[in-house]
Amino acid sequence: MPLPVAQVAGNRYEGAENQFPEDIELVLGVANTRARAGKLSDAICLYLLGAKIDPLNYRVHQGLTNCLLMLRLFEQAVPFASLMIGLEPRNPLGYYFSGLARFSSGCHQEAIEDFEAVLSLKDQVADRAILSKSEVLLSRLKSACDPHIRVV
């Protein structure tokens, strides 16, 4: 059973409201380094601290969502992916992360909508692998949801 985000992160970082806005770059740098090193629980704690410092920072929610997906905490990743979409609705990465989380959580119709959104924003996609993965997953989902659709 997946752990709630608060339980994974704990309450190790109190008093974030006393931080300065420029501290977010330091926090993000350390969080990204911890994530790349595979220390995902540490990275989550740092991203949550970043969210306290700057709750509207897209990169904070991007890092947090990515870590949750890597830990296979799909249901917990959905609200953070939704925040990404709300903060930058023309950025396809939020829809891609949301699609992955919803697909893995069994919310197939919502995943279809997310992957269709990625494809509708294809001119904004910097990483072409995201585009091709979205196409493949969308095709699989549509064929699974409607057995009359033949996927070529």
Q: What is the pLDDT of residues 97-137, one digit of tens each?
A: 999 999 999 999 999 999 999 999 999 888 899 999 999 99
Among candidate residues 44, 73, 102, the one where a domain is terminated:
73
**Distance separating alpha carbons of residues 102 and 80, to the nearest angstrom:** 12
User: Considering the entire predicted model, what is its pTM?
Assistant: 0.80
At 148, the pLDDT band (50, 70, 90 cuts) reads low
DSSP 4: P
Residue 125's pLDDT is 85
Q: What is the mean pLDDT of the chain?
A: 86
Total domains in the fold of the chain: 2
pLDDT, tens digit, for every residue of 36-70? 999 999 999 999 999 999 999 999 999 999 999 99
Are residues 4 and 65 both part of a single domain? yes
Instruction: Tell me if 95 is assigned to some domain.
Output: yes
Are residues 95 and 66 both part of a single domain? no
Are residues 46 and 12 both part of a single domain? yes
